[in-house]
Structure 1
Amino acid sequence: MRGQRRLRRTALLSSLTLVVGVMVTGVSQAHPDHPGSGGREDFPGEGVADGMYKQHDGTEGHLPPVNNNVTLVGRAEVTNPAGTGNTGRVADVTAFGDYAYLNAFREPTCGQTGVHVVDISDPAHPAEVLDAFIPTSAGSYAGEGIQVMHVDNAYFSGDLLAHQNETCPGAAPAPPNSGGISLWDVTDPRHPQPVALHTGDFTNPGGGLDPAPNQTHSMRMWTNNFDGKTYVVLVDDEEQADVDIMDITDPFHPVMVNDTLDLDVLFGVDQATPTNLTSVFSHDMMITKIGQRYVMNMNYWDGGYVLLDVTDPGPGKVTLIAESDYAALDEQRLARGHSISPEGNSHQSELSPNKKFLLGTDEDFNPFRVIATIDSGPYAGTSYIATQASDTPPIDQDTEISGPTTYVGNACAALPAGSGTALVERGTCTFQAKLNNITAAGYTAGIVFQNVRADCLAGVTMLASGGIPYVFVNRLRGLQLLGIAGVTEANACTTPSPAAGSPSATTTIRAVFDGWGYVRLFGTEISPKVGVPGSITQIDTYSVPEAQDPAYAIGFGDLSVHEVAMDPDNSEIAYISYYAAGFRVVKYGKTGIQEVGAFIDQGGNNFWGVEVWKDETGQKYILGSDRDFGLYIFRFTG
């Protein structure tokens, strides 16, 4: 594993020169390079990982313990229903009343995932309610998205829990009871009852209807006081640029009310430069009532942080309040003398209680930037995106692909002996079979390019395991590596491939250190009146120092930020889950961000979720979900 590899102490920073508009690889990007259905398999079992496969992909190691202005009140280990340990198993967390709810992720197995229920009525002694575990359906898992809210109307009166459903990697074909969101009645948390399972958007990217809803990466519910309706917004993993809003006032019979929200098409939230910011899609969101309007802060990955007016969530009624753009150069790297474009990756955010600030988290699980270029032929000098397979040697400071390529067709049968890098076309057989055949033939690396299909400019993460670097590129780049004259984005999807053995170019795919994901602070101006535009202006960025030090790139766990939770009573304090960098507390304001608290337990932590919770007396606690253990309960004492 990566955490067991020896870190080669090279002078990385001194050798890194201006790199603007370079490309990113699979662990850094959550979804394919362009919106589309590139994540769909050509045939059942081909081996396509879901778009988030390489996120939350833990590595061994951790930082030393620390405790600054934080009191650990209590902890509760949860039981993995699969019986194979908790490492990587615990995902997001929420709380309501005297209970916390923690999603059970797909690791170390994707069997028996769902939602753990933890009694936190005594915060010093929290305990899992074993008989109350909420299961997902076979072939599905829960991860990024869990919420409980009280609903009281003619259709439902009680506490409603919602969790998202994603499809287990390699599960094919997807069963009818997969994807979408599931709603549960947790009015009695010890006896959860199903309300509606697997509801969502059944429309596929081609315009047809599927038997199961599209898998959903995250969701958020709210009740609109003006129309009395309860809504939920979904992150659609398959129609990725799309934002789905459903009416769940009658949670037994949810109704789709808006499936037309593509923020790039409607509001142009993308940006032309830096040129690497190509993954523009919905990732997470929250909704806040501000005066006479409901405001959704949407995290749109490389499209930045977006503020929407969803007072009326119907088609054509949602309006743009403001949106952010990334700077030309990454601020945290620039402060260290390294000029490189920002990664993008706006992941999650919250508005401050006074609505004057927004803290956003840019998630980045790969501290290395992959720079892929074509080195010979008519397209020499062209940069491109290479997405690495799920379980093959990563492109990092020790590993690169360079030199000539050999085009071997679809590599679905035994190949003649070869060397260097095999260039392979997708299709006919599994990605694993292609990897096995090029490895057996003696090739030391493989590049698979997209086949002829309507969304050929999209990428995928290949489910494949092997001992050589193995990456995926879109069809345009594959045909350019083959030197096909006149190929463009406009015609690549219909241009046929040449015969196996046709000449192909030399290429280089290498990595430079660009740090892990970090936090952004924005000042916001949001009018309480419907229809009035506002603004969002970046003030500062914050990173734990180790996350920007190449000495900590390998062997210390994932040092990316994940989520932020604002203190509901103090518009200067926020709480952050920072994976292996632990639990962090920051003070923020017009002058910037300052760390004022930190906690890492003996033996390390790996915090996914963070949530503020108050007990019945009004005492405030902060909950953190440790991926390898369960629930931590803190108090900030600074």
Structure 2
Amino acid sequence: MKRNRLTTCLIGAVTAALLLVPASATAHKGQHGTDDGHLLGTGDGDWGKIEKVGQLEVSGAADDLIADVAAFGDYAYLANWGEADCAGPETGGVNTPDSGAWVIDISDPANPVEVNFIPMPQDTRPGEGMQVTHIETAKFSGEVLVMNAEACGKNYKGGFMLYDVTNPLKPVKLKEGFGDRTGSDAHQTHSAFVWQSGDTAYLVTQDEEDLADVDIFDITNPRRPRLVSELNLNDYDVAQPSLNLGDSDLHDMTVKCMTTGAYAGKCIMIASYWDGGYVLLDVTDPANPIFLGDTDYAAIDPELLEQTGIALTPEGNAHQAEFTADNQFFIGTDEDFSPYRALLRTDDGGEYAAGEFGWTVPINELYGELNGPTVYGGYGCPADRGSIPNASTLTLASGEEAILVLQRGPLGDPSQSGGACFFSEKVETAQLLGYDAVIIANHHTGALGG
């Protein structure tokens, strides 16, 4: 095992090349468990004009299981992100699907009822790319459910999934595991969106395995999709490397064919391009998209400065956006994780930018500065724990901490037969082995940093 010494201190500007967290940190449940993190009604709807009118606990409910929600007519669809044994063998066959979508009858909003479940293929899970919409073409008429497809095990299908949910009680598979591909496997996707222009229907996906991560398909015949264009929006210089916002890649997108406003008569895509900001594309002709412009992050994060008085560079992280009803504005949401920045210095003079998870205790609250020897532990998944030295094997000087270094994945590693494990499992590995902190080397496919 390779050992080095490093020092970590808080600074004002970094990229997300490394993720560093105290091993003693605990997760914040946020939208699960207690009321903290929820949008709650006040009973009379005064706060935010929000009033809870009904509630349902789906079968097999668990923390961190529902990834997205869509609704059309009298039905809602909840994305099941994958059961705990998603990567394991299919012991129950078709009767115990790894993941999919719950179908909920919401015709009486005060009394929602679970009425069906649409399973996805083995070792495959949806993410934040669920949508239901009506399309009317020469080849299909009805309601279509689209879900993105990510892996939770080695037998996954990537791409996107299309189901006919005109009758949600009897859904029909239209296409599974279709998308841009390398070799025989469709690329994994994190989000998908469907729209219709004239007599033609289209679908756009986020491609997790290609720098050209905006993939547009013609789905006029949803049983036979056809790739019509793909783009890398970094070709339009949307990134801001001067602010160390180097993780510029697609996260989510929506398309609206407008009848009013500056773009009346055109179909406009807004792509949430993480550190690249929000990007507008004219996709009236989806085979030949036109770049219209993008947003820039301010040199100093204005929200952080206003709320805390701390002047730091922004995190970026353009996550999701929607146009307003009058097409005059869009509402965008950044998925920020931490107000702090970190810098790693190694004993050979190297310096590496880093970030912290939003669900762990900030380093500055526990240590302020980490300093000590590191041990490389590979992927740090549960199955790897027996091969990683315990922190007790290290000799620490006064003021030093034991630090475990792991890497993201495994993904695309021919020497590994298992699927990738969660960051939380890697952090738990460090905790169980007695380390004070863990560094996880990131390799976000499609990011500028590789």
Q: TM-score range by the shorter chain?
A: 0.7 to 0.9
What percentage of aligned pairs have identical amino acids? 32
Distance 1:241 1:330, change over 3 A: farther
Which among 288, 301, 309 is matched to residue 256 of structure 2? Answer: 288
Q: Is the 8 A contact 1:20 1:274 kept in 2?
A: no
Partner Cα distance (2:216, 2:314) in 1: 30
Partner Cα distance (1:59, 1:300) in 2: 27
Establish whether residue 122 from structure 1 lines up as the match of residue 108 from structure 2. Answer: yes
Which among 301, 305, 308 is matched to residue 334 of structure 1? Answer: 305
Distance 1:77 1:310, change over 3 A: same
Establish whether residue 152 from structure 1 lines up as the match of residue 136 from structure 2. Answer: yes
Establish whether residue 360 from structure 1 lines up as the match of residue 346 from structure 2. Answer: no
Establish whether residue 21 from structure 1 lines up as the match of residue 13 from structure 2. Answer: yes
Matched AA of 2:256? T
Distance 1:60 1:121, change over 3 A: closer
Matched AA of 2:388? N
2:290 paired residue number: 319
Q: Is the 8 A contact 1:387 1:473 kept in 2?
A: no
1:135 paired residue number: 119
Establish whether residue 349 from structure 1 lines up as the match of residue 325 from structure 2. Answer: no
Q: What are the equivalent positions in structure 2 for 1:540-555 lying under 5 Å apart?
A: none
Distance 1:430 1:201, change over 3 A: farther
Matched AA of 1:21? A
How much has 1:115 moved relative to structure 2?
Answer: 0.8
SS in 2 for 1:239: coil
SS in 1 for 2:389: helix
Which among 195, 213, 219 is matched to residue 192 of structure 2? Answer: 219
1:238 paired residue number: 209
Q: What are the equivalent positions in structure 2 for 1:450-461 lying under 5 Å apart?
A: none
SS in 1 for 2:303: helix
SS in 2 for 1:273: helix
Partner Cα distance (2:310, 2:148) in 1: 39
Establish whether residue 304 from structure 1 lines up as the match of residue 290 from structure 2. Answer: no
Distance 1:213 1:348, change over 3 A: same
2:225 paired residue number: 254
The two structures have a TM-score, normalised by structure 1, of 0.54
Q: Is the 8 A contact 1:288 1:296 kept in 2?
A: yes
Aligned residues: 389
Unaligned runs of 5+ in 2: 1-8, 21-26, 87-96, 259-263, 396-401, 414-420, 444-448
Establish whether residue 74 from structure 1 lines up as the match of residue 60 from structure 2. Answer: no
Establish whether residue 269 from structure 1 lines up as the match of residue 241 from structure 2. Answer: no
How much has 1:442 moved relative to structure 2?
Answer: 3.7
SS in 1 for 2:238: coil
CA deviation map 1:529-574 (0-9, x unaligned):
xxxxxxxxxxxxxxxxxxxxxxxxxxxxxxxxxxxxxxxxxxxxxx
Partner Cα distance (2:106, 2:407) in 1: 51
Partner Cα distance (2:41, 2:364) in 1: 29
How much has 1:392 moved relative to structure 2?
Answer: 9.4
How much has 1:427 moved relative to structure 2?
Answer: 8.5
Which among 185, 200, 225 is matched to residue 179 of structure 2? Answer: 200
CA deviation map 1:204-263 (0-9, x unaligned):
xxxxx1x331111100001112xx22110001122255111111111111111113x000
CA deviation map 1:157-188 (0-9, x unaligned):
221111111111xx2xx21x511111111111
CA deviation map 1:270-317 (0-9, x unaligned):
113212x11100011110113232100010000001100111122xx2
Q: Is the 8 A contact 1:27 1:55 kept in 2?
A: no
Partner Cα distance (1:86, 1:299) in 2: 29
Matched AA of 2:108? D
Partner Cα distance (2:79, 2:379) in 1: 35
SS in 1 for 2:291: strand
Partner Cα distance (2:227, 2:28) in 1: 29
Partner Cα distance (2:317, 2:112) in 1: 34
Q: Is the 8 A contact 1:241 1:280 kept in 2?
A: no
Distance 1:55 1:304, change over 3 A: farther
Distance 1:60 1:190, change over 3 A: closer
Partner Cα distance (2:220, 2:13) in 1: 45
SS in 2 for 1:77: coil
How much has 1:438 moved relative to structure 2?
Answer: 4.8
2:165 paired residue number: 186
How much has 1:140 moved relative to structure 2?
Answer: 1.2
2:146 paired residue number: 162
1:432 paired residue number: 384
Q: Is the 8 A contact 1:160 1:184 kept in 2?
A: yes
Q: Is the 8 A contact 1:23 1:385 kept in 2?
A: yes
CA deviation map 1:489-541 (0-9, x unaligned):
xxx99xxxxxxxxxxxxxxxxxxxxxxxxxxxxxxxxxxxxxxxxxxxxxxxx
Partner Cα distance (1:273, 1:107) in 2: 41
Distance 1:123 1:215, change over 3 A: same
Distance 1:120 1:26, change over 3 A: farther
Establish whether residue 397 from structure 1 lines up as the match of residue 372 from structure 2. Answer: no
How much has 1:474 moved relative to structure 2?
Answer: 6.9
Partner Cα distance (1:427, 1:121) in 2: 47
> Aligned Cα RMSD in Å?
3.8
Q: What are the equivalent positions in structure 2 for 1:516-555 lying under 5 Å apart?
A: none
Partner Cα distance (1:334, 1:224) in 2: 43
Partner Cα distance (2:379, 2:114) in 1: 46
Partner Cα distance (2:377, 2:247) in 1: 23
How much has 1:123 moved relative to structure 2?
Answer: 2.2
Q: Is the 8 A contact 1:89 1:106 kept in 2?
A: yes
Q: Is the 8 A contact 2:10 2:342 kept in 1?
A: no
How much has 1:338 moved relative to structure 2?
Answer: 0.8
Distance 1:360 1:342, change over 3 A: same
Establish whether residue 279 from structure 1 lines up as the match of residue 252 from structure 2. Answer: no
1:445 paired residue number: 403
Partner Cα distance (2:19, 2:291) in 1: 31
Partner Cα distance (1:114, 1:55) in 2: 26
How much has 1:339 moved relative to structure 2?
Answer: 0.5
Establish whether residue 93 from structure 1 lines up as the match of residue 72 from structure 2. Answer: no
How much has 1:342 moved relative to structure 2?
Answer: 0.6
How much has 1:148 moved relative to structure 2?
Answer: 1.5
How much has 1:383 moved relative to structure 2?
Answer: 3.8
